[in-house]
Amino acid sequence: MRITMNPKKGPPVGTITINGRTYTGNSIKVENGTVWVDGVRQGDPLQAGPVSVVVNGDVGEIDLDNGSVQVHGSVGRVETISGDVTISGDVLRGGVHTMSGDISAQSINGHASTMSGDIRRC
């Protein structure tokens, strides 16, 4: 998993909650369960299995294999293999893609695709 909150240099403007644990930073990466925030390893590893991600703030990009994504803000691009994507703001440029899951956003300024799910504008 990879999440880029603020593609420009500067202080973080939002939080990312993964399976109930909240992090603040510009770049979040999860490799083999280990969470890295702005290049610094964070505490205990995450449990294996589907992931629940909640982002409070605008985000540049999200790449996620298996799990749901909620963004309370706008987003540049979201890609997931399996999981629902819910965005309370706008998709600004790159689009939203999921192989299996629903997509919901206020507006999508780019492509939206799912092989098994619905696409809704809310």
Q: Are 51 and 81 in contact (CB under 8 A)?
A: no
Task: For residues 14 and 80, give the distance between their C-alpha atoms in angstroms, rounded to a whole number.
Answer: 21
Percent pLDDT > 90 in the chain is 70
Task: For residues 18 and 53, give the distance between their C-alpha atoms in angstroms, rounded to a whole number.
Answer: 5
pLDDT at 77: 94
Q: Per residue in 35-46, pLDDT tens?
A: 999 999 998 999
Whether the per-residue pLDDT at 114 is higher than 80: the answer is: yes
Q: Domain-by-domain residue ranges, the chain?
A: 2-121
pLDDT at 85: 96
Record the pTM: 0.91
Whether the per-residue pLDDT at 6 is higher than 90: the answer is: no
Q: Per residue in 42-64, pLDDT tens?
A: 989 998 888 999 999 999 999 99
Q: How far is CA 60 from the centre of its chain?
A: 9
